Amino acid sequence: MEIKIIKIPKIEDPRGNLSVIEKDVVPFEIKRVYYLYDVPAGAERGGHSHKEQHEFLVALSGSFDVILNNGKQVQKVTLNKPYEGLLIPNGIWRELKDFSSGAVCLVVASDVFDEDDYIREFDEFLSVSSN
């Protein structure tokens, strides 16, 4: 699995658009959904990697940047469309920053919360990713 932007099906309607995330949109079984909101100006979220879990991030409202690091390369992705999501496989360090006012980040995850699946120290991540 690789980092990539995935288009979410969009049903356009003059009364308001609708997008649906189902099993065919993300390449994993959805086991957890949560969202980040009211992120204060200048605050950052993320700052971790997962050993097994995959995630799919969507900017439901507003925008934010996702800084991705695989231990060798760093890339920045700006999310700002509610019909596009960012697939982040396991083994990728992620930092979310530069949230616009009113931004909402939806996270669709392949597993339930498990603290043992997190790598929260960047040095540990680098040592694991270099193997």
DSSP-assigned beta bridge partners for residue 108: 33, 56
* Contact partners, residue 92, CB within 8 Å, separation at least 6: 3, 49, 50, 68, 69, 70
pLDDT average, residue stretch 13-29: 94
pTM of the shown model: 0.93
Average pLDDT score, the chain: 95
* Residues with catalytic function: 48
Other CB atoms within 10 Å distance of the CB of residue 65: 15
Q: Among residues of the chain, what percentage have pLDDT more than 70?
A: 98
Q: In the prediction, which pLDDT does 41 show? A: 87
Of 36, 87, 88, the residue nearest 63 (C-alpha) = 36
Q: Does the structure show a pLDDT above 80 at 1?
A: no
**92-114 pLDDT, tens digit each:** 999 999 999 999 999 999 999 99
